[in-house]
Amino acid sequence: MTALTKDRNTPRASGDIKSMLLAASALIFAGGIVMRNASGYAVKGQTALGLRGAGVAMLRVDNSDGSAGDLRIDVREGCFRFANSASTDEITIADIGNLAYVVDDQTVAKTSGGFTRSPAGFIRDVDDQGVVIEFCEDDLGAAIKNGKTYVSTRVATLVGSNVYRVVAPVAGRITKIWSVIEGALTTGDATLTAKIGATAVTDGVITVTQAGSAAGDVDSATPSAANVVAAGDGLSVTVGGTNATASAAVVTFEISTI
């Protein structure tokens, strides 16, 4: 676009109201918790990972028969009261200021339920009627970004089947694993298989390809399951593949605590 040469009718977006595109097949009820998925689309509040609280639906929108992005929904940020979870996940006055986690589109809990739930927002008040949650997606995004811990181990050689270990310093989920090699591979590919104790992490295998490899090459894996760790758990990578070059590597685990 070029600079203005006449007055412009510029659409205004209210500061606490945002218009979000709905995910495919999403049905969101007015007054319900709205979450943003990893692709940026609006979905209803639910027990699932990879989401974050976006606000409260201002109207009912049904995209049950639609594709992602076919419809929009107005979502308001701010403080709203929702139902409190029961038993050990019940939020109390001692939890004010902490994150709350989404159980469903009208219920929140004090924990992630063993890292099965995503955060809604911040707990601002608790009473017999429920829990007041403050939805502020920018602040929540910063909290999620900061809620990560990184731990590394050096792989002395990418030849053979040796195991290299490190201890998880916090409880959480392994959400990313990276490797960086210190020298090129000249014969065959190498693999690095991640485990928690004796359990292999699902989708936790990194393949370092020989073709075109060079010192400083970075490869990664994105675990999808069997990736929950407790503080003090042993993490390991096992070397495999057909590589015959004694190059070293450093493997880094990203542990998400939110």
Q: Which residues of the chain fall below pLDDT 50?
A: none
Among residues 145, 164, 197, which one ends one of the domains? Answer: 145
CATH number at residue 167: 2.60.120.260
Residue 21 lies in a domain: yes
Domain shared by 127 and 69, yes or no? yes
At residue 9, the pLDDT reads 81
- Rounded distance between C-alpha atoms, residue 234 and residue 213, angstroms: 30
Q: What is the pLDDT of residues 27-37, one digit of tens each?
A: 999 999 999 99
Full residue range of the structural domain in which residue 31 is found: 17-145
At residue 225, the pLDDT reads 94
Residue 2 lies in a domain: no
At residue 37, the pLDDT reads 97
- Rounded distance between C-alpha atoms, residue 55 and residue 49, angstroms: 17
Domain shared by 135 and 177, yes or no? no
Domain shared by 139 and 152, yes or no? no
Neighbour tally for 114: CB within 10 Å: 9
Residue 94 lies in a domain: yes
At residue 13, the pLDDT reads 61
At residue 2, the pLDDT reads 79
Domain shared by 131 and 204, yes or no? no
At residue 115, the pLDDT reads 93
Domain shared by 27 and 120, yes or no? yes
- Rounded distance between C-alpha atoms, residue 252 and residue 103, angstroms: 31
Domain shared by 108 and 166, yes or no? no
Domain shared by 215 and 114, yes or no? no
At residue 19, the pLDDT reads 95
Residue 187 lies in a domain: yes
Q: How many domains are contained in the chain?
A: 2
Among residues 145, 160, 177, which one ends one of the domains? Answer: 145
Domain shared by 48 and 112, yes or no? yes
Residue 113 lies in a domain: yes
Residue 1 lies in a domain: no
Among residues 93, 111, 145, which one ends one of the domains? Answer: 145
Q: Nearest to residue 78, comparing CAs of 45, 121, 118, 46?
A: 121
At residue 5, the pLDDT reads 84
Domain shared by 56 and 108, yes or no? yes
Residue 6 lies in a domain: no
At residue 26, the pLDDT reads 97
Domain shared by 117 and 154, yes or no? no
Domain shared by 130 and 202, yes or no? no
Q: Nearest to residue 57, comparing CAs of 72, 37, 39?
A: 72
Domain shared by 129 and 200, yes or no? no
Instruction: Specify which residues 109 forms β-bridges with.
Output: 101
Q: Tokens standing for 133?
A: 């949650």
Residue 3 lies in a domain: no
